[in-house]
């Protein structure tokens, strides 16, 4: 190995290490069970990234496509709207949860059953693709009943 290639390798490793450190952390991904014939389901999770990034999409083998949605009260009506990105500020957790920002799994290939797990790939503007496992459950993980035994903490 010449000095030049060694230097190039060292630089590549440094870049790779930086990229790995900037990887967003995704936790508590869950989705609600769906009934036969239901074509879409919400996906919820928590994202925290050491550097500012933007969630721009996702994909999953269980769905034809994955959309990003916002939810807002307009008068007395709760409306969902597709958004083209969700900002993830540096070091600040972003929660995708029922009633707010969420993922929408469209064209579900089969019903989601409680207890099932399925893979989902999130796509970030800077970090690229981040794979996560989604758990199908009737309530958010870390809910009250669950938190009691686990030394729950609030942010």
The residues binding Cu ion (CB under 5 A) are 69, 80, 104
Whether 55 and 88 have beta carbons less than 8 Å apart is answered as: yes
- Compare residues 95 and 104 and give the one whose CB is closer to Cu ion: 104
- In sequence order, which ranges of 1-155 are alpha helices (DSSP H)? 3-21, 144-147
- Compare residues 80 and 95 and give the one whose CB is closer to Cu ion: 80
Nearest to Cu ion by Cβ — which residue?
A: 69
- Compare residues 52 and 104 and give the one whose CB is closer to Cu ion: 104
Q: Which two tokens stand for residue 94?
A: 């972003």
User: Quick one: CA torsion of 13, 119, 59, 146, rounded to 10 degrees?
Assistant: -100
C-alpha span between 15 and 9 (Å, rounded) = 10
């Amino acid at each position: 190995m010449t000095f030049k290639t060694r230097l190039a390798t060292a630089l590549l490793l440094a870049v790779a290490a930086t990229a790995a450190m900037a990887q967003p952390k995704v936790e508590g991904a869950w989705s609600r069970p769906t009934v036969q014939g239901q074509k879409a389901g919400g996906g919820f999770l928590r994202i925290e990234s050491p550097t500012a990034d933007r969630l721009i999409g996702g994909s999953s083998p269980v769905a034809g496509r994955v959309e990003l949605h916002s939810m807002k009260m307009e008068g007395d009506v709760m409306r969902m709207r597709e958004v083209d990105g969700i900002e993830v500020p540096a070091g600040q957790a972003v929660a995708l949860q029922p009633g707010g920002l969420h993922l929408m799994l469209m064209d579900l290939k089969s019903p989601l059953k409680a207890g099932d797990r399925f893979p989902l790939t999130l796509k970030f503007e800077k970090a690229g693709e981040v794979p996560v496992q989604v758990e199908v459950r009737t309530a958010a993980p870390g809910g009250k009943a669950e938190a009691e035994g686990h030394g729950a903490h609030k942010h």
